[in-house]
Structure 1
């Protein structure tokens, strides 16, 4: 997950898991509450993982705008490595990356 709202001009990259509200966090671990919001999910397919990852954000953002939504108040975005469609290539060799971007209320 990428956090765009640290206030220092940089973003942070957080590796983690999505959990239900109220789950306890073990000592020494960090957590980030994600406020309830609508999200767009892009399914980015390809054989080259570098290409899939580098194109995920712009392709998902473009699809959001083409469908009449906005994502100009985005505070985070997230890659989700959904197994097995990410970890095990399809018959044609493609993998699928799920890419989440919060969208504005219209």
Structure 2
């Protein structure tokens, strides 16, 4: 177990039809979405990827897989 500093964090998800795409660009896409709501994650020192079996490993009815992640906000 590790302690994380108290901070606000954004719950983001990357949705794609390709597992490799969910790993290739998630943080750029998430950072863009975070900026669009007027927040920043420039000083990000950690991130937590959540590999939820039913979202990441099993495509939904439209063929998409989803990678969830928590990103700390400045």
Instruction: Provide TM-score, normalisation by structure 2.
Output: 0.88
Q: Which runs of 4+ in 1 moved over 4 A?
A: none
Bigger radius of gyration: 1
Contact 1:69/1:103, CA 8 A, preserved across alignment: yes
Which stretches in structure 1 are left out of the alignment for 5+ residues? Answer: 1-30
Counterpart of 1:76 in structure 2 is: 46
| More contact order relative to length (CA 8 Å, sep ≥ 6) | 2
User: CA-atom RMSD, angstroms?
Assistant: 1.2
Counterpart of 1:97 in structure 2 is: 67
Structure with more helix by fraction: 2
Question: How many positions carry a matched residue from both structures?
Answer: 74
Which stretches in structure 2 are left out of the alignment for 5+ residues? Answer: none
Distance 2:34 2:16 in 1: 20
Contact 1:86/1:95, CA 8 A, preserved across alignment: yes
* Matched ranges for 1:31-70 at <5 A: 31-70=1-40
